[in-house]
Structure 1
Amino acid sequence: MPTSKNAYRLRIGRHSEFGRLYLLTTITQQRRPIFNNFQLGRLVVDQFRQAHEDGIVISKAWVVMPDHFHWLIELQNKTLGELMCRIKSRSSVNINRLTKTHERVWRKGYYDRVLRQEDDVKAAARYIIQNPIRAQLATRIGDYPLWDACWI
């Protein structure tokens, strides 16, 4: 992952297409494992659900790991930049309110990967929800609390 001073490079050549499927990933500032706290992780999940309910995305799968998240979405009516700014800023405000701090929660920038028709969307979703198992945070998918997928 590039350093914060190079985070702008993640945006070079990036554009958003409505109706496309994207795999989004972002990490916490200094990779702090703040989402080891389930309650703080739920604040991020709340923002995923709100974006879905507001018609900005169709959420396909997600996992909130201790220091990052993966989110598979179908983009509906905002750009990726607008979506990620919304998720990161609103979750930051709620996290800082709950923890009574004023710390930066997220590192600048994010990764996105468009999934093309030939890509296996369910394979991407499996990759996402199996993250806790690969990280040895759980032995079975259902044992980890901060994930969901529309197929399960």
Structure 2
Amino acid sequence: MANIDTPGHRALRRGRQSSPNSAYLLTTTTWQRRPVFADVLLAAAACRAFTAATPSDARLLAWVLMPDHVHWLLQLGSTTGLANAVSCMKACAARAVNDQRQHHAPVWSRSYHDHALRKDEDLHAAARYLIANPLRAGLVSRVGDYPFWDAIWL
């Protein structure tokens, strides 16, 4: 995925509204695509933080943390917007990572990619696709061997 922190990127998001109760596939990369989460302790800290920081009216249906990015399948509630949910989850994870490594440095790129799932798109299929990312990337030979993922259906 290309880094989309370009000058015109912000204009693309201006005025965009998230839909309450909708499910979104989200991807955000680490700062400069650095493999921050190749460090097991930093990955564990980030996972604990972003799962705890999920807004109370939203549900984190599935997620996978890769060495240089994260995928979330998030269902919004009725009050918290998508930008606020992503901002909160990224900020809390960054704080936890910086606490773990005992110095402050950027963790995430500023941007993220989102795809609103249509009503006819299968949440289970989206979660399976997301969770198989480490397998497709060649990090493991079985999905169950990768430690940094979860789904509510398992």
Normalised by the size of structure 2, how large is the TM-score?
Answer: 0.89
Structure 1 residue 63 corresponds to structure 2 residue 64? yes
**In the aligned structure 1, how far is the partner of 2:53 from the partner of 2:38?**
23
For 2:120, the equivalent position in structure 1 comes to: 118
> C-alpha deviations, 1:18-62, integer Å up to 9, x for none?
21111111000110001011221122222332134x514211110
Aligned-residue offset at 1:88: 1.4
**In the aligned structure 1, how far is the partner of 2:127 from the partner of 2:11?**
26
- Secondary structure of the structure 2 residue equivalent to 1:94: helix
CA contact (8 A) 2:37 2:66 kept: yes
CA contact (8 A) 1:44 1:87 kept: no
Aligned-residue offset at 1:14: 2.5
For 1:104, the equivalent position in structure 2 comes to: 106
Equivalent AA in structure 1 for residue 74 of structure 2:
I
For 2:136, the equivalent position in structure 1 comes to: 134
CA distance 1:134–1:10, shift in 2 (3 Å): farther
Stretches (4+) displaced over 4 A = none
CA contact (8 A) 1:10 1:111 kept: no
CA distance 1:108–1:10, shift in 2 (3 Å): farther
CA distance 1:10–1:148, shift in 2 (3 Å): farther
Moved more, 142-151 or 54-63: 54-63
Q: Of Structure 1 and Structure 2, which has the larger fraction of its residues in helix? A: 1
Structure 1 residue 19 corresponds to structure 2 residue 26? no
**In the aligned structure 1, how far is the partner of 2:4 from the partner of 2:18?**
24
Structure 1: runs of 5 or more not aligned: none
Structure 2: runs of 5 or more not aligned: none
CA contact (8 A) 1:31 1:67 kept: yes
Equivalent AA in structure 1 for residue 52 of structure 2:
Q
Normalised by the size of structure 1, how large is the TM-score?
Answer: 0.91
CA contact (8 A) 1:22 1:74 kept: yes
CA distance 1:9–1:140, shift in 2 (3 Å): farther
CA RMSD, aligned part only?
Answer: 1.6
Aligned-residue offset at 1:73: 1.1
How many residues get paired? 151
For 1:90, the equivalent position in structure 2 comes to: 92
Moved more, 138-147 or 77-86: 77-86
Aligned-residue offset at 1:146: 0.2
CA contact (8 A) 2:51 2:89 kept: no
Work out the percentage of aligned pairs sharing the same amino acid.
Answer: 40
For 2:152, the equivalent position in structure 1 comes to: 150
CA distance 1:10–1:27, shift in 2 (3 Å): farther
- Secondary structure of the structure 2 residue equivalent to 1:16: coil
- Secondary structure of the structure 2 residue equivalent to 1:5: coil
